[in-house]
Amino acid sequence: MQVTAKLTELREQIQTWKSKGETVAFVPTMGNLHQGHLSLVETALKHADHVVASIYVNPLQFAAHEDLDSYPKTLEADLKALEGVGTALVFTPTTDLIYPKGPENSTKVIVPEDVIGHCGESESRPHFFIGVATVVLKLFNMVQPDVAVFGQKDYQQLAIIKNMVKDLDLPIKIIGVDTYRETNGLAMSSRNNYLTEEQRETAAAIRQTLDWLIEEVQNGLAIETAIDHAKASLVESGLKPDYLIVRHADTLDEITPEDESLVVLVAAWLGKARLIDNECFTRKVD
C-alpha cells in the first residue's frame, strides 16, 4: 500500500493505473477509522480495480466552538486497517496543500439553501455543508476517481454530494453504503469514542426510538405526534435532541400527504458527543 501526502505522487500513480485502462474508487475519510469506514473500502473494491482513501480532518467544516482540535487522530492504526482491507493508496494531505491561502481565503462551493432540504444539519451547523462540499470537490479534482463511496449515516451529506456531482457535471459515480452499527444498534462513528461504556448503552436509544417512530407512523399515527413522542423518549433516556425530523427520502423536502418514501433524521447530544442517525421507510398513502 502506498502512502503519500504529495499531490504529484498521487496523480502519477493514478495516471499509471488509468493508462492501463484500470479504474479508481475513492473513499474520503477524516481518520480515526472504524469498521464502518472499512466497509466503504470493501464496497469500493467491488466497483473498481484500485481504491484510494484519504485521511484529512477538514477545518472548513468545523465551527469555532466545535471539536476540530480534539478530533481523534490515529494515523498509524488507520493505515494498518486500510492496508488490511486492500486499499491501494492512502492520500494524507496537509491543510497547506488543500487550502494554500488558508481555509477562509479559498474558493468555496456554495450549497443552495433551497436544494436538498434546508433542514437538520443545515440549520444546526450552517457552515458545515459549505466545508464538506468544498473539500470533497477539491479531493475529487485531486484524485479524479471513477467511483466515490460514502456512508449513508451522513444521509444529508450524501444527498448534497450527489446533487453537487450532478450540478457540476462531474464524471463520478456516487455510491452510498448502509450505516454500519454496533451490536446494540448505535451507528458507528468516530465520535462514539467520546462516550463512556454506560453512555454507549444509553445511545442505543436513538435507533430504538427511530424504529418506534417508523412503526407508529406506518400504523397511522400522525407524524408530528410521533415526532413529539420520540423527542420526549430521547430526553427520558438521557439524550438531548438537537433535531428530529421526517422528510422526503429523495429531496429532503418537507413532506406532503402524498409522499410515501420518507426518511427520519436525528441528531442528539450525549455528554460531549453529538450523535446523528437516520432511517428510510415507506408509508401507505390512501
> Catalytic site residue 37?
yes
Q: What is the residue type of 203?
A: A
Residue 185, C-alpha cell as written in the block: 444498534
Give the CA distances from residue 283 to residues 212, 219, 255, in Å, rounded to whole numbers and listed in that order.
14, 9, 12
Residue 143, C-alpha cell as written in the block: 484524485
Sequence-separated contacts (24+) of 273-276 with Cβ below 8 Å: 273/191, 273/192, 273/194, 273/195, 273/199, 273/203, 274/191, 274/242, 275/186, 275/187, 275/189, 275/191, 275/192, 275/203, 275/206, 275/239, 276/121, 276/153, 276/154, 276/187, 276/189
Total residues found in the chain within this entry: 286
Q: Calculate the CA dihedral of residues 90, 96, 100, 104 and round it to 10 degrees.
A: 100
Element (H, E) at 121: helix 121-124
Instruction: Determine which one of 37, 47, 50, 248 is catalytic.
Output: 37
**What residues are annotated to the active site?**
37
